Amino acid sequence: MSNQSARIYFDNAATTSLDPVVLEAMMPYFTDKFGNPSSIYSYGRESRLAIETARKTVAKILNAHPAEIFFTSGGTESSNTAITAAIRDLGCRHIITSPIEHHATSHTVEHVFHSGEAALSEVKLLPNGHVDMEDLERLLANSSEKCLVTLMHANNEIGNMLDLHAVGNLCKMYGAIFHSDTVQTVGHFPFDLRNTPVHFITGAGHKFHGPKGVGILYINENVKIKPYIHGGAQERNMRAGTENLYGIVGFAKALELATAQFEEHSSYIKGLKIYMMEKVKSVVRGVTFNGDTLGRSLYTVLSVSFPKTEKSEMILFNLDMNNICVSGGSACTSGADQGSHVIRAINNNPNQVTVRFSFSKHNTKEEIDFVVEKLKEMI
Ligand SMILES: Cc1ncc(COP(=O)(O)O)c(C=O)c1O
């Protein structure tokens, strides 16, 4: 059962529980090893070493160079930085994005667009929610300005995954900068950045049983941007401010654990997703699944649309009343009345109610049985 005692937690795309092994690795840096990494005496040197060791660990796992890994406060900061820098420092005057990006990307590109710094185009989506690659190529080919392409690796609401290599190669062909929000895939899939044509990717520790408030921005070594937070010389002069020492240590530890257990956990969690899909289909008439559910898709996410009725409209509320934690869309939009921009973009059917179930290694088939039984009662 879930480690959340009586609650069932099926919202692991929003955040995950901290692994006790990660906490254990972090603890000394809250207590004994508290030195400021910039101090030159032994306390400081110990902290500096912990950060640089963490950077090397992360770089090795992602097959990148340590100098390409910058620690940040999470996915939002990393995407803000990459997009802003592509416009300010890399000469991009045209942003190509999709209508289903996380708000960390979409609100940033809208801000840049409204301030007049770049034109903005949205690539078309196919009926299954994947990016229409022909339309992407058309946009790139017709652009008279240098482009920034910002497309997420895996969608946090419907799970669809982008072909990073195909998009990256197109970007290369047309001299575009490529940023991908990989917050839902770092810690969930293997990466080989040295052989992936991408300029910026992002990660957030709390999506893979690491701590909140810490993330990474990968900046390819061939891309040179200016400092984005001014002050001290931290993060090689790029991001000033005393480092989140225990967060950084925790990020690296969580990534290490996730990588070591990838095969076992991904196949277990995928089994849960398929089990849930079959179970829901068998008990709820007219249910549909959003995105390329069994194709190029995150194994952690299942987006389900139920026919809209007086009862199903109350589903999120009723699941919560039964101690079942799920969300209507991304965590950032749950509770907002207008629903999910992602679901609207791929399936504009007002007669449906959408629920995202997202799983982790802590979930079980017994929990799914319980949730489906409750769904049956509720609908
Ligand atoms: C796809 C995606 N991008 C970006 C973010 C933002 O990351 P963070 O909360 O670490 O800022 C999230 C999750 O919150 C996400 O799911």
For residue range 103-150, list pLDDT tens digits in order.
999 999 999 999 999 999 999 999 999 999 999 999 999 999 999 999
Q: How far is the CA of 119 from the centre of ligand 1 (A)?
A: 24
Show Cβ contacts of residue 24 under 8 Å, excluding neighbours closer than 6 positions.
none
Q: Is 332 a catalytic residue?
A: yes
Instruction: Evaluate whether 188 touches 254 at the Cβ level (below 8 Å).
Output: no
Q: Is 175 among the domain residues?
A: yes
Residue where a domain stops, chosen among 214, 240, 260: 260
Q: Is residue 3's pLDDT more than 70? A: no
The CA distance from 141 to 107, in Å, is: 25
How distant, in Å, are the alpha carbons of 20, 47, 235, 378 from that of 206?
13, 22, 21, 31
pLDDT on residue 46: 97
For residue range 166-198, list pLDDT tens digits in order.
999 999 999 999 999 999 999 999 999 999 999
φ, ψ dihedrals at 243, nearest 5°? -65, 150
Q: How far is the CA of 44 from the centre of ligand 1 (A)?
A: 31
> Do 90 and 152 sit in the same domain of this protein?
yes
Tokens of 249: 């240590």
The CA distance from 106 to 149, in Å, is: 12
pLDDT on residue 361: 98
Instruction: Evaluate whether 193 touches 64 at the Cβ level (below 8 Å).
Output: yes
- Give DSSP secondary structure letters for 282-309: HHSTT-EE-SSTTSSB-TTEEEEEEEP-
pLDDT on residue 6: 86
What is the average pLDDT across 350-370? Answer: 96
> Do 267 and 139 sit in the same domain of this protein?
no
Q: Which of 12, 107, 156 to mutate to test the pocket of ligand 1 (most atoms within 8 A of CB)?
A: 156
Instruction: Evaluate whether 149 touches 136 at the Cβ level (below 8 Å).
Output: yes
Q: How far is the CA of 377 from the centre of ligand 1 (A)?
A: 33
What is the average pLDDT across 145-156? Answer: 98
Question: Domain holding 286: CATH number?
Answer: 3.90.1150.10
Task: Report the sign of the C-alpha dihedral through residues 135, 138, 144, 146, in that order.
Answer: positive
> Do 251 and 321 sit in the same domain of this protein?
no
Residue where a domain stops, chosen among 260, 282, 313: 260
For residue 241, the tally of other CB atoms under 10 A from its CB is 12
> Do 201 and 349 sit in the same domain of this protein?
no
> Do 229 and 270 sit in the same domain of this protein?
no
pLDDT on residue 372: 97
> Do 292 and 238 sit in the same domain of this protein?
no
With pLDDT > 90 as the criterion, what percentage of the chain qualifies?
A: 90
Split into its structural domains, the chain has a count of: 2
For residue range 195-247, list pLDDT tens digits in order.
999 999 999 999 999 999 999 999 999 999 998 899 999 999 999 999 999 99
For the entire predicted model, the pTM comes to 0.95
Question: Which residues, listed in sequence order, are joined to residue 219 by a DSSP beta bridge?
Answer: 200
What distance separates the 2 farthest-apart alpha carbons in the chain?
A: 67
With pLDDT > 70 as the criterion, what percentage of the chain qualifies?
A: 96
Q: How far is the CA of 263 from the centre of ligand 1 (A)?
A: 24
Question: Which residues, listed in sequence order, are joined to residue 9 by a DSSP beta bridge?
Answer: 325
What is the average pLDDT across 320-333? Answer: 80
pLDDT on residue 333: 45
Q: Which of 78, 183, 340 to mutate to test the pocket of ligand 1 (most atoms within 8 A of CB)?
A: 183
Q: Is 3 among the domain residues?
A: no
CA-nearest residue, atom 4 of ligand 1? 75
> Do 275 and 193 sit in the same domain of this protein?
no
> Do 287 and 220 sit in the same domain of this protein?
no
Query: What 3-state class would DSSP assign to 177?
Result: strand
- Give DSSP secondary structure letters for 10-53: -BTTT--PPPHHHHHHHGGGTTT----TT-SSHHHHHHHHHHHH
pLDDT on residue 4: 47
> Do 224 and 103 sit in the same domain of this protein?
yes
Q: Is 82 among the domain residues?
A: yes
Average pLDDT of the chain to the nearest whole number:
95
φ, ψ dihedrals at 148, nearest 5°? -110, 120
Query: What 3-state class would DSSP assign to 345?
Result: helix
Question: Domain holding 180: CATH number?
Answer: 3.40.640.10
Query: What 3-state class would DSSP assign to 161?
Result: strand
Domain that holds residue 330: 8-18+261-378
For the CA of 154, the nearest atom of ligand 1: 1
Query: What 3-state class would DSSP assign to 264?
Result: helix
pLDDT on residue 350: 85
Identify the band that residue 330 occupies on the pLDDT scale cut at 50, 70 and 90: low
Q: How far is the CA of 241 from the centre of ligand 1 (A)?
A: 22
By mean pLDDT, which of 64-78, 330-344, 352-366 is the weakest? 330-344
Identify the band that residue 331 occupies on the pLDDT scale cut at 50, 70 and 90: low
> Do 346 and 237 sit in the same domain of this protein?
no
Residue where a domain stops, chosen among 201, 230, 260: 260
Q: Which of 76, 212, 340 to mutate to test the pocket of ligand 1 (most atoms within 8 A of CB)?
A: 76
Query: What 3-state class would DSSP assign to 163?
Result: coil
> Do 56 and 179 sit in the same domain of this protein?
yes
Which one, of 13, 42, 71, lies nearest residue 249 by Cα? 71
Element (H, E) at 165: helix 164-173
> Do 243 and 367 sit in the same domain of this protein?
no
pLDDT on residue 41: 98
Q: Which residues line ligand 1 (CB under 6 A)?
A: 74-76, 102, 104, 152, 156, 181, 183-184, 204, 215
Q: What's the chain's length in residues? A: 379
Rg (CA), the chain: 21
pLDDT on residue 256: 98
